[in-house]
Amino acid sequence: MALIDLSIPDDLKAFAEAEAARAGHATINEYMMALLREAERRSALGQLEVKLIHSIDGPSRAVVAEDWDEMDRRFEQRQSGGRRP
């Protein structure tokens, strides 16, 4: 695990300690990791939204039986512990 050295003012440290406790984290480190994970999740959702909007603007085609069969196959593979193709 990597180490980040962060200097912050005393009042911000007190705020972070209070927020960590309020959120149920044992340490400021746990709290900061949770904040960063949430920021990472929001970023991924934003990227997904861009891809979805781009796909809406792109060409469309009808979904055929083979498409449903492929989706079923992928679903079954995931349920059985297989990896995505």
Neighbours of 46 (CB within 10 A): 10
Residue 2 domain-assigned (yes or no): no
The model's pLDDT over 16-65, given as tens digits with 9 standing for 90+, comes to 999 999 999 999 999 999 999 999 999 999 999 998 888 888 788 888 99
Residue 84 domain-assigned (yes or no): no
Residue 85 domain-assigned (yes or no): no
For the chain, what is the domain count? Answer: 1
Dist CA 57 CA 47 (whole Å): 16
Q: Which pLDDT score is estimated for 56?
A: 85
Domain extent for 27? 10-79
- Identify whether the C-beta of residue 18 lies closer than 8 Å to the C-beta of residue 27: no
1, pLDDT greater than 70: yes
Residue 61 domain-assigned (yes or no): yes
Residue 19 domain-assigned (yes or no): yes
User: How many residues in total does the chain contain?
Assistant: 85
